[in-house]
C-alpha cells in the first residue's frame, strides 16, 4: 500500500440480523462514509434465511455501488447474484474455486495468522487475504495476527490484505500504515450508534 493512502473499510455484517431493522442500520452506515465492500457473514446455515438476508442487504448495498461477498457459501454467492465469496479455510479451496468460477468472481481467503497460507492463497488466485484476529478475544486459540505480519506483507506481497477481529483504535493506529483494509463488524454493530462507532474507529486510521 502506498504510504499516502489510508486503509479502506471492508464492512462485515453481524452474525445475526433482524430483517426489520438491519437494512436501515446498514444504509445509515453506508451513507456515512466510503465503504469498499460488504461481507455477509451470518451464523445461520439455513438457506432460506441466508437468501432473504442476502436479498435485503443486496438491495441496500447495490444501490450504493458497494460489492458484496458471502462467507463460505460458494453456490449461494452465484445463485443470489453476489460479487464473490469469502473463504475461511485458508488457501485450501482457492485454486479449485478460481478454476471453477473463473476470473469475474471475487475470492477472499481468511488465513488466521499464517503468512504461508496467505502467500499460497494469493498464488492460487485470491483477490485478497485477511488475517486476524488482530486484537485479544476469548474466541479461537488465542493466536493473534501481529503488526509484524502486516508490516512484512505490505513490503513483500502485492495481494491486498485485510486486518480484522477485535479491532480497537490503538490497534488500528498501529496497523493502518501496513494494511489495505480493515474488516469492521461487531466492533460497530454492538453499539447503539453504529455510525458514531465507525467514525471513532475511522478517526484512528493513519497513512
pLDDT, one tens digit per residue, over 85-121 is 999 999 999 999 999 999 999 999 999 999 999 999 9
pLDDT(196) > 60: yes
pLDDT computed for residue 31 by the predictor: 98
Distance CA 84, CA 102 (A): 11
Dist. CA 76–CA 79, nearest whole Å = 5
Question: Can you give the residue ranges of every domain in the chain?
Answer: 8-202
DSSP for 44-111?
A: ---HHHHHHHHHHHHHHHHTTT-EEEEES-HHHHHHTT-SEEEESSTTTTHHHHHHHH-SSSEEEEE-
For the entire predicted model, the pTM comes to 0.96
pLDDT in tens, 117-155: 999 999 999 999 999 999 998 888 889 999 999 999 999
Is-contact 126 108, C-beta < 8 A? Answer: yes
CA distances from 29 to 4, 26, 104, 136 (A): 25, 5, 27, 25
Q: What band does 174 get if pLDDT is binned at 50, 70 and 90?
A: very high
**CATH number, span 8-202:** 3.20.20.70
Quick one: pLDDT at residue 139? 80
Mean pLDDT, rounded, for 43-61: 96
Q: Is residue 165 predicted with pLDDT exceeding 50? A: yes
Q: How confident is the model at residue 4 (pLDDT cuts 50, 70, 90)?
A: low
Q: CA–CA separation, 20 vs 201, rounded Å?
A: 26
**Running DSSP on this structure, what letter comes out for residue 162?**
E
C-alpha to C-alpha distances, 179 to 23, 32, 50, 104, 183, nearest whole angstrom: 28, 22, 30, 24, 10
- Determine the Cα–Cα distance for residues 86 and 68; give it in Å rounded to an integer: 10
Mean pLDDT over 184-205 rounds to 98
Q: For residues 164-181, give the mean pLDDT.
A: 98
Q: What is the DSSP letter of 177?
A: G
Amino acid at each position: 500500500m502506498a504510504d499516502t493512502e489510508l486503509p479502506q473499510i471492508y464492512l462485515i455484517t453481524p452474525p445475526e440480523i433482524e430483517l426489520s431493522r438491519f437494512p436501515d442500520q446498514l444504509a445509515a452506515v453506508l451513507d456515512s462514509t466510503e465503504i469498499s465492500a460488504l461481507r455477509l457473514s451470518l451464523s445461520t446455515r439455513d438457506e432460506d434465511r441466508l437468501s432473504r438476508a442476502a436479498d435485503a442487504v443486496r438491495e441496500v448495498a447495490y444501490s450504493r455501488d458497494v460489492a458484496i461477498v458471502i462467507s463460505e457459501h460458494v453456490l449461494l454467492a452465484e445463485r443470489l447474484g453476489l460479487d464473490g465469496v469469502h473463504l475461511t479455510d485458508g488457501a485450501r479451496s482457492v485454486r479449485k474455486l478460481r478454476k471453477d468460477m473463473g476470473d469475474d468472481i471475487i475470492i477472499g481467503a481468511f488465513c488466521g495468522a499464517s503468512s504461508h497460507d496467505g502467500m499460497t492463497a494469493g498464488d492460487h488466485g485470491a483477490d485478497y487475504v485477511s488475517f486476524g484476529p488482530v486484537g485479544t478475544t476469548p474466541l479461537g486459540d488465542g493466536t493473534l495476527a501481529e503488526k509484524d505480519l502486516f508490516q512484512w506483507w505490505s513490503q513483500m506481497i502485492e495481494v491486498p490484505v485485510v486486518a480484522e477481529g477485535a479491532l480497537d483504535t490503538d490497534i488500528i493506529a498501529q496497523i493502518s500504515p501496513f494494511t489495505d483494509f480493515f474488516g469492521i463488524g461487531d466492533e460497530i454493530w454492538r453499539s447503539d450508534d453504529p455510525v458514531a462507532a465507525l467514525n471513532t474507529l475511522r478517526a484512528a486510521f493513519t497513512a
